[in-house]
Structures are given as C-alpha cells and as structure tokens.
Amino acid sequence: GIQVEQSPPDLILQEGANSTLRCNFSDSVNNLQWFHQNPWGQLINLFYIPSGTKQNGRLSATTVATERYSLLYISSSQTTDSGVYFCAVVSGGYNKLIFGAGTRLAVHP
Amino acid sequence: SAVISQKPSRDICQRGTSLTIQCQVDSQVTMMFWYRQQPGQSLTLIATANQGSEATYESGFVIDKFPISRPNLTFSTLTVSNMSPEDSSIYLCSAKISNQPQHFGDGTRLSIL
C-alpha cells in the first residue's frame, strides 16, 4: 500500500519563528489532508489539498502531486500551535485515509 | 462541514469488559470510519462502517473484537470487546460527504486497568 512519510519527526521553536513541515507519499493520491492534533487530543482539519496551494491565516500548504509531496508552512508560530501535525492521504478507489507518523511541534514562549 | 459527536469522551474500564462508543453526525454522510490511536502513535484505520451491511475491517482487526453497527446514515457504534490493557487508546470516528474532506469527532480516550 501507499507509504506516507513526514519530516521532521520533532520540532522545537521559539515563539515567532517560521517552520516548514514535509509530507512525502509513495503513490498518486486522490486526496491529501493536513491535521493538527492539539494537546487535548482533538484532531483539527487544517487543509484539504490534493494539489496546489492554499492559505489560512498564518498557515499555508502546497501539494505538488506530480512529485508526490506536500508542505505545511507555519509563520510567526505561537504556543497554541504546539501539538502533532499529521498528513493523511487517500489513494486508489477507496476513501480511507492513510496517516503519516506525524511531526510533534513544541513552541516555547 | 459535518459536526461529529462522540461519547463517551473518556472512560476507565476493567479488563475483560466491553465498551460501546457512539458516533453521531449532524447530517447524512456517505461514509463513516473508525480509527485507533495508540499512545504516542499515529492513527490507524480499524474499519469502514457500511450502512445496512457488515463493516469492512482492515488487516489486523476482526469483527469479534471490534463489532461495528451503522443502522442509518447519521449514526454508528464501535464496541471494544473483552478489553485488555493493550486496548488503551484513543478511538476516533470520522465521516465523509461526497467530495468533501473527512472530519473527525473529538475521540474517546479509553484506559483499561
């Protein structure tokens, strides 16, 4: 099946710093989503982005489907950005999401 | 987007018992899914809950351990049977409407003593 790899696995930032999280996938995808899991375990939809670029406030995402990767940009990070960021993809004729291992982000004041 | 409610939000159970988790969506959805997240790990799909028929289980998950019901287009349940400490996880329900992204409930945090 399709493999989803995220990097880096862990990231520590000072408040105000920028960061880029990467998601590589091993096959073509029909759907790609980025999620933020906050410290309380809630999984928040960030982007639905099978291709192209989208922006939402301080966050933006770019998926280059032909090269099988997606990037999540966080600018001017805040302590509330802490948590785990997951990339998940749908491949083939199914609708099930396959998750990467996640990037654990800690933003310190 | 769909609003998904899960209950209970958390529970502590004795080994050997069973717990049923409920998932309610505020609109009719095409597909519903159940995921497990073990401590410190990513999410793994348990099964797709099919309306009016048996659920479709992923490799490593069986119906006897994780029976699933989906009586209509807005509701599903997952039962974790004969629990052991290894079943301590967060269990999440998700739903998908046609070409929209999947949305998740807040999860059920389960601890087995």
- Compute the average pLDDT of residues B72-100: 94
B35 pLDDT band (50/70/90 cuts)? very high
Q: What is the DSSP string of B60-101?
A: T--TTTS-EEEEETTEEEEEE-S--GGG-EEEEEEEE-TTSP
Per-residue pLDDT, B100 = 83
Q: How far apart are CA B75 and CA B2, in angstroms?
A: 12
Per-residue pLDDT, A67 = 96
Interface list for A 48-67 with B (CB within 8 A) = 48
A contacts of B102 (beta carbons < 8 Å): 33, 95, 97
Per-residue pLDDT, A83 = 96
Position A104: which residue type?
Answer: R
A contacts of B42 (beta carbons < 8 Å): 86, 99-102
The closest of B101, B41, B5, B103 to A99, measured between CA atoms, is: B41
B38 touches chain A (CB under 8 A): no
Per-residue pLDDT, A93 = 67
B5 touches chain A (CB under 8 A): no
More reliable by pLDDT, B19 or B52: B19
A106 touches chain B (CB under 8 A): no
A96 touches chain B (CB under 8 A): yes
Per-residue pLDDT, A30 = 87
Average model confidence (pLDDT) across chain B:
94
Per-residue pLDDT, B54 = 87
Query: A41 vs B45: CB contact, 8 Å cut-off?
Result: no
Cα A48 → chain centroid: 10
Per-position pLDDT tens, chain A of length 109: 899 999 999 999 999 999 999 999 999 888 999 999 998 889 999 999 999 999 999 999 999 999 999 999 999 999 999 999 999 998 776 788 999 999 999 999 9
Partner-chain residue, chosen from A42, A48, A102, that has the shortest CB–CB distance to B101: A48
Ramachandran angles phi, psi of B87, nearest 5° = -85, -5
Query: A88 vs B96: CB contact, 8 Å cut-off?
Result: no
Q: How far apart are CA A52 and CA B27, in angstroms?
A: 29
* Residue B106 DSSP SS3: coil
pLDDT of B38 > 90? The answer is yes
Partner-chain residue, chosen from A42, A48, A99, that has the shortest CB–CB distance to B43: A99
Would you mind telling me the total number of residues written for chain B in this entry? Answer: 113
